[in-house]
Amino acid sequence: MYASTLLLTMGITIVEVFAPSSGGIAISSDGSTAYLVLSETARAGGKGSQVYALDVASARLRALTDGPGRVTWLDLGPWEKRIVFQRLAAESSYVAVLDLRKGVSVPVHASSRPVVNPRWVMGPPGLLLAREWVAKGAPWRWLLQAPGGGLMPIQVPESTTTGFGRSGISRRWLALPVLVPVDMDKEAEAPGRTRLLDLLEMKWRSTVRVVDLTALRRSRREAAAGLPSRCVARWPGKHGLGECRVDLAFDPAGKRLVAARREGFYPKGETVFFELDPEGEKEPARLFADARAFRPTWTPDGNGLVYLRGFGHDDDWWELVLWRPDLKQPQVLARFPEEFGQWVTTWRWLADERLRVVHHCDADIYVFDTGPGEVERVGRYLRGDRVRVLKAAADLERAMAAVPDLSKPPSAGGWPEAYAPLVKQIAEAVGKSQEEARGLIERMRQKAAVWEKVPVVTPLEVNESGDAKPFWPPVLSE
């Protein structure tokens, strides 16, 4: 599902929607495993969601969490031993860390003050970067969270609020989008608190603030009072929150910082890319502009950017594109659908410089391998009905491992009709013979774990009006 920044004030929920690379999906460094959030119906959004591991080679799912509520965010740790995730249950919110070796989840923050979108910090081990809602009627703030649960706020001028977009993280720096009311002086502190309605109606200046993590290494005690930050870029505000998104990313060396700033209201307008100096000694340098683009990441050599770009009417299709200074125009690496407003996409560079892309749209899962060179023609596609069966098998197996003698088998409601006999047999077998039940689950998996072929770049066809639209459905014949 979409990752969300929630403004919960005065009983109103505002959702800023963006597709994070850490959000609903994460990919292991060798590309063999994708960690996904799936709901009760295996869709990319919905109630009762949990974390699952998808083995890319076999197309099999393994359930990693259980519990009430829904998981709205996950991020894989730098050493790939832990996952941090955020769960919303009833009116509460908490952040937990899942140990992938032990299979145990431990809450690290639970409060009526929501902490959202936690991400691992690459520098000091065990630290999480997150957004926190301070109090009713107050803006959000950035903070660091220590493994023991201690919170270290990041110092910014009062009456500012966390910006919409993605933060940048390197071993030395944190780069954070921060919104400043346009009537504030550059670094002055405005008196009083800002109400949510003010946040919506005010004009904002998009800024980028940088935190030097070496200060944290020097004195953890001093940092507990608040880490200092400095402004390295600011842009004038024109309208409201709608055009205040800034996505940030450091290059592999951690020295170059790119900012992708949305200019103009959705779905119009464009995104302008700037290179920023983390030291704050140079002015932002404009690189290029593209339509409805966001979430840039650097290529392994640090000479190009890969990012998402909206395509088609109301951005009902998305393209993953590559920009390099020597290219006349960005190269399309992949093109995939967005259905019902519920989708999430992430990608990761592999050791052989291939780009592995995992796209979860509605209940379907796509896996593409692509890169700067010649784009692969064929990708993999797991239909939603197969995903639902694989998820059900994973849930059953986890439940049987946790409670060996199940007296009440899970409901078979909502499963594809073709699998009803198997579901009935499993329901009868659970509580009688664990070995028989596991054998039936394995039969379900064997039937469902089948990849189909799809084009990595879905071809376009021109309709009578002259509009170019992707051809659909994309499944390729043998």
Is 131 inside any structural domain?
Answer: no
- Phi first, then psi, for residue 215 (nearest 5°) are -65, -35
* Residue range(s) defining the domain that contains residue 109: 1-120
Is 143 inside any structural domain?
Answer: no
Q: Which of 90, 120, 150 is the last residue of a domain?
A: 120
- Convert the pLDDT of each residue in 238-258 to its tens digit: 555 556 789 999 999 999 999
- 78 or 430, which is more confident: 78
Average pLDDT over residues 141-163: 77
Q: What is the mean pLDDT of the chain?
A: 76
Q: Report whether 4 contacts 14 (CB < 8 A).
A: no
Q: Is 413 helix (H, G, I), strand (E, B) or coil?
A: coil
Is 403 inside any structural domain?
Answer: yes
Q: Report whether 176 contacts 209 (CB < 8 A).
A: yes
User: Greatest CA separation found in the chain?
Assistant: 72
Is 85 inside any structural domain?
Answer: yes
- Convert the pLDDT of each residue in 88-136 to its tens digit: 876 667 888 999 998 888 888 766 666 778 888 876 667 888 887 766 5
Q: What is the pLDDT of residue 256?
A: 95
Q: Which of 120, 151, 182 is the last residue of a domain?
A: 120
If we measure between CA atoms, which residue out of 446, 276, 281, 456 comes closest to residue 355? Answer: 456
Is 35 inside any structural domain?
Answer: yes
- CATH number, domain of 23, equals 2.120.10.30
CB within 8 A of 197, min separation 6: which ones? 10
- pTM, two decimal places: 0.82
Is 116 inside any structural domain?
Answer: yes
- Convert the pLDDT of each residue in 170-194 to its tens digit: 989 999 998 887 765 443 334 344 4
Is 381 inside any structural domain?
Answer: no
Q: How many domains does the chain have?
A: 2
Residue 261: how many CA atoms within 13 Å on its side-chain side?
Answer: 29
- Phi first, then psi, for residue 333 (nearest 5°) are -95, -30
CB within 8 A of 73, min separation 6: which ones? 3, 20, 22, 23, 24, 37, 85, 86, 116, 117, 118
Is 331 inside any structural domain?
Answer: no
